[in-house]
């Protein structure tokens, strides 16, 4: 890990967070936002000069939204990098592997069939179970193919995603009055409050730490299982730990933001092209870069059709779909 890459990534994230805090219908002075941010730092006291209304907008509306976007973006990006390391497949992604669709179906069941406080309390564990189940189905289907390849697992993931999405659509029809809420959730939304952030924080921290601790072992696995075993690495245990952590990260992100696609492909691949392919570099930089990427995507979603708001999933798909085609063309020679 080169120090300037860390500094550049953190600077990029800081700039994205500041832009997210400054942008909105209500104008807040740049100086006031910067001083307020400094005042939040430990052992620092600054007179921001913001009015109570400006401070309320900043603290209760913009700050939790920006932080949720950062957490969700970081989780999806590091989960994508983790899946790519586990399956040794550059096209692996929480959305394409069925993890997001499985979590989405589980959350929809919680909203429609249970509802109320009980349904809300079950969202995280059900999302996790759905994410793990979706990945398992995609992997099992891809493994049954006689001829493996880079695109085989992705095709299996697309099939599983379509199947789970069809079930989700059927479940939605069981409770029509919840359609608007579910539809908004499907398109992606990071406009939650502090309660959503508190909900996702412990899962996010645990999943990120587990994956970051397995960066070196993923590097060893990339050269082959036999070589990994000869070096004392238990390949099955490493894959299971990273797979579960990546699924937990995906489930946590989906639980508070809905389905946001392509972050797990775009960010890790950009990191690899800029900073190298070692997972000791890719995982932490994907975490930071994904956070900055989704904050900026949310910024575009909030301003492009102002005062209306564009779903953030539309923005990430607009960027990610062409990027996916680009990555697919790069990996075509490997398959052939």
User: What range does the domain containing 233 cover?
Assistant: 66-335
How many angstroms separate the CA atoms of 123 and 106, rounded? 8
Q: Does residue 46 lie within any of the structural domains? A: no
Neighbours of 174 (CB within 10 A): 11
C-alpha span between 34 and 37 (Å, rounded): 5
pLDDT in tens, 197-251: 888 899 899 999 999 999 999 998 888 777 777 777 888 888 889 988 998 898 8
CA distance 5 to 281: 9
- Please give the average per-residue pLDDT across 132-140, as a whole number: 85
Tens of pLDDT along 161-206?
889 989 988 887 777 666 666 776 677 788 778 888 888 899 899 9
Under 8 Å CB-to-CB from 217, ≥6 apart: which residues?
Answer: 228, 233, 238
Tokens 């936002």 correspond to 33
Q: What is the CA radius of gyration of the chain?
A: 20
> What does each C-alpha distance from 289 to 100, 162, 190 come to in angstroms?
20, 29, 17
* CA–CA gap between residue 168 and residue 172 (Å, rounded): 6
Q: Does residue 103 lie in a domain region?
A: yes
Does residue 94 lie within any of the structural domains?
yes
- Judged against a pLDDT cut of 50, whether residue 336 lies above it is answered with no
Q: Crossing angle, helix 263-275 and helix 279-303, to 10 degrees? A: 130
Total domains in the fold of the chain: 1
Distance CA 323, CA 259 (A): 18
Question: Domain for residue 23, yes or no?
Answer: no
pLDDT digits (tens, 9 = 90+) for 291-314: 999 999 999 999 888 778 888 988
> Apex CA 279: angle with CA 273 and CA 281, to 5°?
65
Within 10 Å of residue 59's Cβ, how many Cβ atoms? 14
Residue 109 placed within a domain? yes
Task: Flag whether 117 is in a domain.
Answer: yes
**119 or 275, greater pLDDT:** 275
Q: What percent of the chain has pLDDT over 70?
A: 92
| pLDDT value at residue 64 | 93
Q: What is the CATH number of the domain that holds 198?
A: 1.10.3470.10
Q: Residues 249-284: pLDDT tens digits? A: 988 888 888 888 889 999 999 999 898 889 999 999
pLDDT at residue 331 greater than cutoff 80: no
Q: What is the pLDDT of residue 88?
A: 83
């Amino acid at each position: 890990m080169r120090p300037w890459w860390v500094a550049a990534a953190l600077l990029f994230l800081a700039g994205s967070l500041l832009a997210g805090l400054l942008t909105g219908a209500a104008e807040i002075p740049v100086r006031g936002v910067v001083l307020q941010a400094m005042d939040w730092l430990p052992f620092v006291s600054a007179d921001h000069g913001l009015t109570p209304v400006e401070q309320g907008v900043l603290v209760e509306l913009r700050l939790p939204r920006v932080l949720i976007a950062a957490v969700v973006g970081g989780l999806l990006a590091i989960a994508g990098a983790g899946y790519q390391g586990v399956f040794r497949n550059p096209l692996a992604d929480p959305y394409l592997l069925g993890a997001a669709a499985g979590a989405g179906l589980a959350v929809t069941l919680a909203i429609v069939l249970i509802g109320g406080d009980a349904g809300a309390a079950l969202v995280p564990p059900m999302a996790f179970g759905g994410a793990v189940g979706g990945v398992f189905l995609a992997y099992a289907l891809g493994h049954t193919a006689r001829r493996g390849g880079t695109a085989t697992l992705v095709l299996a993931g697309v099939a599983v995603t379509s199947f789970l999405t069809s079930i989700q659509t059927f479940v939605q029809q069981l409770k029509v009055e919840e359609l608007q809420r579910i539809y908004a959730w499907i398109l992606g939304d990071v406009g939650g409050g502090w309660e959503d952030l508190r909900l996702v924080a412990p899962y996010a921290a645990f999943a990120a730490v587990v994956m970051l601790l397995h960066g070196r072992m993923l590097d060893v696995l990339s050269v082959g299982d036999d070589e990994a075993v000869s070096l004392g690495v238990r390949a099955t245990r490493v894959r299971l730990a990273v797979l579960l952590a990546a699924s937990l990260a995906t489930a946590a992100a989906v639980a508070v933001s809905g389905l946001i696609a392509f972050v797990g492909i775009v960010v890790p691949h950009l990191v690899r092209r800029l900073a190298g392919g070692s997972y000791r570099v890719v995982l932490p930089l994907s975490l930071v870069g994904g956070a900055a990427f989704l904050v900026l995507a949310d910024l575009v979603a909030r301003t492009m059709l102002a005062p209306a708001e564009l779903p953030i999933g539309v923005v990430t798909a607009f960027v990610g779909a062409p990027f996916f085609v680009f990555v697919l063309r790069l990996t075509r020679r490997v398959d052939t």
